[in-house]
Structure 1
Amino acid sequence: MKRLTANIISINVGKKQTLEGFGESVSSAIKKEPVYDQIFLSENNLVGDEQADLVNHGGLDKAVCVYPYDHYVFWEEELSMNLLPGAFGENITIKGLVENDVNIGDIFQWGEAQVQVSQPRKPCHKLAKQLNVPSMPKRVIERGYTGFYLRVLKEGHVSRETPLQFITRSTEVSIAYINQLYYQKKADNELIKSTAAVPELATSWKEMLLKKVK
C-alpha cells in the first residue's frame, strides 16, 4: 500500500449566505474563509462551519469535506483562473491524498480527533455557481476529481499545522473506484451490490448505488 501522507494547506469554514448564479439565488455556505488558529472538530462539523441544505449537506457522514490541493493546478489551467484554497467549498484543502489513494473506511488521526473516510463528494449546482462555471459539476465527475468526506470518530481540537496521519485501512474500495462505478452508464450489478454492502460506506451512497441495479 502506498504510504498515505496528507499535509493540510488550509482549514476553511463558512456561514450561510445568498449565492447568486445563472439567474437564481440559493442559500449556501460553500464560500469558505481560512482558519489559522486551532479549532474544535465535533461529530457534526468544524466549529463555525454551517450548512444551508441539511438534506444534501452536513450530517455525521459528511462532517468534513476534503479536496486535494493536488488538483488545483489542473483546474487553474482548465478554467483560466487563480483559485485560492477553499475554492471548492472544502473544509480541508490537503496535499498528497487523492481519490485513487484513499479508501472508504480509512482512519486518520488529526490532532486530538480521529476521522474516517465515508464517501465521495457529489458535486452540485452550488459548485457551479461558486466558480461561475455552469458545466463544473459535469467536469468534476468526468475528471474524477471529486474530493471526499470524513466522519468523526473522536472529537477534538485540530489545526492546519497537524497533518492527517494514517492509522488503519479496512476496505479495498477507493473513492476513485466508487466514482467510476456510480457514474458508469452500465455498471455490473454484482459489483454494485458488493460495494454497497461495505459497512463503512455512507448510507446515502449505498442507496444511490443500489438504485442503479437493474
Structure 2
Amino acid sequence: MSIDPIQIVYTGVGMPRKMVFNGNEMNTGICKDEVEQIIVNDESCEGDGVANTNFHGGPDRVVCVYPYEHYGKWEKEFQTSLPPCAFGENLTIKGLTESEACIGDIYQVGEAVLQITQGRIPCQTISKRTGIQPILQRIVETGFTGYFFRVLQSGIIRKDSTVSLIQRHPLQVTVLFANQILFHDKKNESAIRQILEVDELASVWRDKLSKQLESIS
C-alpha cells in the first residue's frame, strides 16, 4: 500500500454537453471543467451530471476518480498531452491507484467521507474525448480504469484538501484485482466469489459478477 501522502491534483465538474467527434455530435458528461472545489452529497456532485446512466451516476457512483500516475504513462505511450480531468473524473488523485484502492475502503476527503465501490467500466467516449483511439483498449488491458466513490458524509472537497484513510476493508479486494476478474479472468469462480463477499460492492458490479458466476456454475 502507498506510504506517500495522497494528494488531489485536479477537481472537476460539468453538466452533459455536445461534443463533436468525426463530424458527429454526441451528448456526453465526460467534459469536466477544472474547478477549485466540489460539493458532494449522497446523490451527486453539485454542478455535475451524466449522460449515460448505464455507466455513470447513482448513489454507488457519485464521485469519479482517475489516478494522476496514469496521465504520465498515457502521455508517454501516445506522445500527447492530456488536459486536466481528461477522463471525465471529478477527482484526479495522486498516490491511490487501482492497485492500492480496495473496494469498501473509507476515506476522509476534505469535509466529505467517501467509500470506494467499484472500478470504472470504460467506454468509447474516453477515446473520443482524448482523441486517442487505442486508449480504451489499453485501459481495459492494464486495468487502469479509475474507480468510483459513494458519499457517506456530504461536504466540500477543495484542490488542497487532505485525503486520509479512515478504514481499510478487511477483505482488501483491490480495484485492480476486481478489474482483472471482470474484464479478463471471467471464469475464475473463486475470485468472483471473493469479490462478491464485499458487501460494499456497487450493485451494478454485483449484478455483472453474479451473472458471470451463474454462467460458469
User: If the length of structure 1 is used for normalisation, what is the TM-score?
Assistant: 0.93
The reply on whether 1:201 has 2:201 as its aligned counterpart is: yes
Output one character per residue of 1:82-116: Cα deviation in whole Å (capped at 9) or x when no partner: 11220111110111111111100110111221000
**SS of match in other structure, 2:93:** strand
State the shift of 1:185 in Å. 4.6
Counterpart of 2:9? 9
Contact residue 196 and residue 207 of structure 1 kept, 8 A: no
User: In the alignment, is the contact (CA less than 8 A) between 2:110 and 2:158 conserved in 1?
Assistant: yes
Q: 1:77 to 1:169 in 2, by over 3 A?
A: same
Query: Does the residue aligned with 1:5 lie in a helix, a strand or coil?
Result: coil
Cα pair 2:60 2:117 within 8 Å, conserved: yes
Partner of 1:55: 54
Q: Which structure 2 residue ranges, 5 or more long, are not aligned?
A: none
1:140-177 per-residue CA deviation (whole Å, 9 max, x = no partner) reads 01122111100000001221111211111123100010
Report the more deviating stretch, 65-74 or 179-188.
Answer: 179-188
* TM-score normalised by L of structure 2: 0.92
Distance (whole Å) between structure 2 residues aligned to residue 185 and residue 176 of structure 1 = 12
Q: Does residue 176 of the first structure (1) align with residue 162 of the second (2)?
A: no
* 8 Å CA contact 1:197, 1:206 repeated in 2: no
AA at the equivalent of 1:29 = G
- Count, aligned residues: 213
Please report the RMSD computed on the Cα atoms of aligned residues, expressed in angstroms: 1.6
What is the CA distance between 1:22 and its match in structure 2? Answer: 4.6
**% identical equivalent positions:** 37
Q: Could you tell me whether the CA contact under 8 Å between 2:108 and 2:114 is conserved in 1?
A: yes
- Mapping 1:23-34, distance limit 5 Å: 24-34=24-34
Q: What amino acid is the match of 1:47?
A: E
The AA in structure 1 aligned to 2:180 is: Q
Match for 1:32: what amino acid? K
Partner of 1:85: 84
C-alpha separation between the residues in 1 aligned to 2:144 and 2:54? 23
Shift of 1:14: 1.1
Q: Deviations over 1:46-105 (max 9, x none)?
A: 211111122321111110000011111110011211112201111101111111111001
* Deviation of 1:23 (Å): 6.0
> Displacement of 1:190 after TM fit?
2.6
Which residue does the alignment assign to 1:68? 67
Give the Cα–Cα distance (whole angstroms) in 2 for the partners of residues 152 and 86 of structure 1: 20
Deviation, 1:24, is: 4.2
Separation (CA, whole Å) in 1 of partners of 2:4 and 2:30: 27
Q: Contact 1:29–1:51 (CA<8 Å) still a contact in 2?
A: yes
Q: Counterparts of 2:134 and 2:81 in 1: how far apart (Å)?
A: 18
Query: What SS is found at the alignment partner of 1:211?
Result: helix
**Paired residues of 1:29 and 1:50 also in contact (CA < 8 A):** yes
Gapped runs of 5+ residues in structure 1? Answer: none
